[in-house]
């Protein structure tokens, strides 16, 4: 089954074709992402109306480009998957409208995919031998969750953030130290030049049992440290390093707890913060020590993309699921 995947939940237009006849990374026939970063940069964050308009401009050209790269035409498609939520409603409606119309015109089924299920299943696209049960850490700009995956489609929420998502904390912290949008990756880059231990921030909610997170207090700690500092580039890098270490340690501590609680040794990490180098190193070290394994998608499949939507949609379509003809999105949606 060849499935076109469309992702338009936020500020990335993602398109891909996944072919279930070729399991593993070979199944990804082509994928392309158009990022709106430059468009939103001057506003310091995503402007929903501008995001929707840009998806309208970019989606059809990107579909044409992706099909051409895969050496396919629309006639070769057996289904269309799109992100139905959660996300910005206008942005979601662009993807849903195009996906549904295309599916109707081609007389193939369409399926709406949960954005976080897309993230969660992305590591399975890369590694067909990876099978549930496992524990998933979903860390993006909008979510920080630990999920027990008993089977594909059977998910148990083990813990989540009570305030900011980890990516959101990265972005807000970067912004308050004057780094340009989107701050997360910039802050991570800056942290590489910082001295470990020069600034020590707390590991929130690790001193009590439980699998929930809270990152908004860390942001305040950074704000105070930055305000009272000499504000040199070296200090900014040291604070960035202290912040990154605090977030990474906190995530790692909770991941270990979740694995212990689930009696499981496989951890899957997905979402934009999964691209963070230090998080990857730390979780690999922990997995080695436990004799377990940790799986990350390649960084391009950690951040928003169409490949994860094509893949998750293909699994659901192959299982016989599809929806009616209506254009339906869910800006707020529990997985
Ligand atoms: O999954 P994603 O692309 O979009 C959402 O669904 O939110 O995640 C984006 C988030 C942003 O908050 C971004 O700052 C963060 O992931 N991010 C990173 C890194 N790359 C992306 N955070 C820390 N280190 C990185 N290398
Ligand atoms: Zn995402």
Which pLDDT does position 280 carry in this prediction? 97
Check if 271 has its Cβ closer than 6 Å to any atom of ligand 1.
yes
3-state SS track over 107-122: CCCEEEEEHHHHHHHH
With beta carbons less than 8 A apart as the criterion, state whether 85 and 333 touch. yes
| Residue 222 assigned as binding residue | no
- Cα of 206 to ligand 2 centre, how many Å? 26
Which pLDDT does position 128 carry in this prediction? 87
Q: How far is CA 136 from CA 131, 220, 249, 271, 321, in A?
A: 12, 28, 17, 10, 24
Whether 274 has a pLDDT exceeding 80, the answer reads yes
Whether 5 has a pLDDT exceeding 90, the answer reads yes
With beta carbons less than 8 A apart as the criterion, state whether 176 and 219 touch. yes
Which pLDDT does position 28 carry in this prediction? 98
With beta carbons less than 8 A apart as the criterion, state whether 311 and 124 touch. yes
State the number of CA atoms in the 13 A half-sphere of 144 facing the CB: 25
Whether 261 has a pLDDT exceeding 90, the answer reads yes
**Coil, helix or strand at residue 137:** strand
Atom of ligand 1 nearest to the CA of 271: 1
Which pLDDT does position 326 carry in this prediction? 85
**Residue 112 structure tokens:** 């709406």
| Residue 238 assigned as binding residue | no
The ligand that comes nearest to the alpha carbon of residue 115 is: 2
Which pLDDT does position 79 carry in this prediction? 98
How high does pLDDT run on average in the chain?
A: 96
326 phi-psi bin (left φ>0, alpha ψ -120 to 50, beta other): beta
Please tell me the pTM assigned to this model.
0.94
Which pLDDT does position 182 carry in this prediction? 84
Which pLDDT does position 245 carry in this prediction? 98
Check if 167 has its Cβ closer than 6 Å to any atom of ligand 1.
yes
The 10s digit of each residue's pLDDT in 161-192 is 999 999 999 999 999 999 988 899 999 999 99
The 10s digit of each residue's pLDDT in 125-150 is 999 899 999 999 999 999 999 999 99
Q: How far is CA 54 from CA 16, 32, 91, 130, in A?
A: 18, 15, 9, 36
Which pLDDT does position 252 carry in this prediction? 98
Measured in degrees and rounded to the nearest 5, phi and psi for residue 212 equal -85, 165
| Residue 142 assigned as binding residue | yes
Q: Which residues contact 112 (CB under 8 A, 6 or more apart)?
A: 81, 82, 83, 84, 85, 96, 323, 328, 329, 330
pLDDT band at 155 (very low <50, low <70, confident <90, very high): very high
**Residue bearing the CA closest to ligand 1, atom 26:** 276
Check if 292 has its Cβ closer than 6 Å to any atom of ligand 1.
no
Compute the radius of gyration of the chain from its Cα atoms. 20
- Outline which parts of the chain fall under CATH 3.30.420.40: 2-120+302-318, 132-299
Whether 199 has a pLDDT exceeding 90, the answer reads yes
With beta carbons less than 8 A apart as the criterion, state whether 139 and 272 touch. yes
Which pLDDT does position 335 carry in this prediction? 85
> Once rounded to an integer, what is the mean pLDDT over residues 220-246?
98
Torsion angle (degrees, nearest 10) of CA 41, 43, 48, 53? -60
DSSP assigned state of 303: S
**What number is the ipTM of this complex?**
0.98
> Once rounded to an integer, what is the mean pLDDT over residues 14-36?
96
The 10s digit of each residue's pLDDT in 92-129 is 999 999 999 999 999 999 999 999 999 999 999 999 89
**2-120+302-318 in CATH: which number?**
3.30.420.40
Check if 171 has its Cβ closer than 6 Å to any atom of ligand 1.
yes
Q: Residue 247: which H helix or E strand, with range?
A: helix 233-262
Whether cis (ω within 30° of 0) applies to the bond prior to 238 is no
Check if 27 has its Cβ closer than 6 Å to any atom of ligand 1.
no
Residue (of 124, 92, 99, 117) closest to 3 by Cα position? 99
> Once rounded to an integer, what is the mean pLDDT over residues 224-241?
98
Whether 327 has a pLDDT exceeding 90, the answer reads no
Q: Which residues contact 195 (CB under 8 A, 6 or more apart)?
A: 237, 238, 241
| Residue 265 assigned as binding residue | no
The 10s digit of each residue's pLDDT in 40-88 is 999 988 999 999 999 999 999 999 999 999 999 999 999 999 999 999 9
Whether 324 has a pLDDT exceeding 80, the answer reads no
Residue (of 115, 154, 153, 120) closest to 329 by Cα position? 115
The 10s digit of each residue's pLDDT in 296-313 is 999 999 999 999 999 999
Q: Could you name the CATH architecture of 132-299?
A: 2-Layer Sandwich (3.30)
Which pLDDT does position 44 carry in this prediction? 87
């Amino acid at each position: 089954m060849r499935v076109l995947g469309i992702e338009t939940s936020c500020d990335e237009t993602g398109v891909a074709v996944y072919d279930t006849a070729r399991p593993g990374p070979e199944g990804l026939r082509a994928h392309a992402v158009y990022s709106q970063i430059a468009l939103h940069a001057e506003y310091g964050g995503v402007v929903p109306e501008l995001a929707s308009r840009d998806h309208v401009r970019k989606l059809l050209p990107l579909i044409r480009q992706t099909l051409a790269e895969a050496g396919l035409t629309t006639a070769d498609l057996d289904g269309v998957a799109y992100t139905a939520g959660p996300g910005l409603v206008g942005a979601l409606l662009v993807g849903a409208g195009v996906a549904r119309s295309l599916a109707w015109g081609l007389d193939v089924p369409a399926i709406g995919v949960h954005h976080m299920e897309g993230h969660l299943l992305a590591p399975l696209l890369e590694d067909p031998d990876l099978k549930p049960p496992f524990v998933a850490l979903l860390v993006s700009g909008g979510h920080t969750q630990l999920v027990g995956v008993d089977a594909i489609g059977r998910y148990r929420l083990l813990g989540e953030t009570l305030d900011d998502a980890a990516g959101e904390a990265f972005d807000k912290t970067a912004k308050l130290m004057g780094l340009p949008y989107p701050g997360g990756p910039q802050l991570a880059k800056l942290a590489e030049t910082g001295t470990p231990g020069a600034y020590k921030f707390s590991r929130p909610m690790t001193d009590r049992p439980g699998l929930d997170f809270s990152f908004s207090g860390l942001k305040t700690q950074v704000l105070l440290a930055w305000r009272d500092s000499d504000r040199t580039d070296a200090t900014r890098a040291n604070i960035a390093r202290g912040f990154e270490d605090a977030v990474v340690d906190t995530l790692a501590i909770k991941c270990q707890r979740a694995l212990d609680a689930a009696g499981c040794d496989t951890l899957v990490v997905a979402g934009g913060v999964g691209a963070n180098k230090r998080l990857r190193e730390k979780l690999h070290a922990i997995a080695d020590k436990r004799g377990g394994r940790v799986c990350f998608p390649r960084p391009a499949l950690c951040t928003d993309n169409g490949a994860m939507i094509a893949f998750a949609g293909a699994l659901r379509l192959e299982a016989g699921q599809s929806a009616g003809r209506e254009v339906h999105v869910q800006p707020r949606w529990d997985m």
